[in-house]
Amino acid sequence: MESSSSTIGGIETTTMSAGENYDETTSLVAYRLDISGYTFPEANSVRFNWYLDYTQGNGLSITDFGLLGTDGTLFSRKVRSEISKDSDLSLEGTWTITFN
């Protein structure tokens, strides 16, 4: 495993189809967001906040989210059921990392 000294800096959405596999050669970034803030809810965790506005990412069928380093390194990924993003919908979320 390669290491990175990058800090967490963003969220990306992709539009992969069911059954497709992601690897380091796959480039399916549909939309990239900056982290809007972070907190430390406990001594061993950090929570990153993000927001996709009504005007952002319209027309996308979002199927997963990735937590990115400032250098673009994919830190974590979450696949989910499809969200059809349109101008009548905004998305707000958090991503919590807990260290044991």
Q: Which residues pair with 72 in a beta bridge?
A: none
Number of domains in the chain: 1
In a domain, 3, yes or no: no
Low-confidence ranges of the chain (pLDDT < 50): 1, 17-18, 25, 27
| 92-98-100 Cα angle (round to 5) | 175
In a domain, 53, yes or no: yes
In a domain, 30, yes or no: yes
Res 14: pLDDT? 72
- What domain range is 93 assigned to? 8-98
Mean pLDDT (the chain) is: 81
Going by DSSP bridges, is the β-strand pair 45-52/91-98 parallel, antiparallel, or unpaired? antiparallel
In a domain, 27, yes or no: yes
Res 18: pLDDT? 46
pLDDT tens per residue, range 61-81: 888 888 888 888 888 888 888
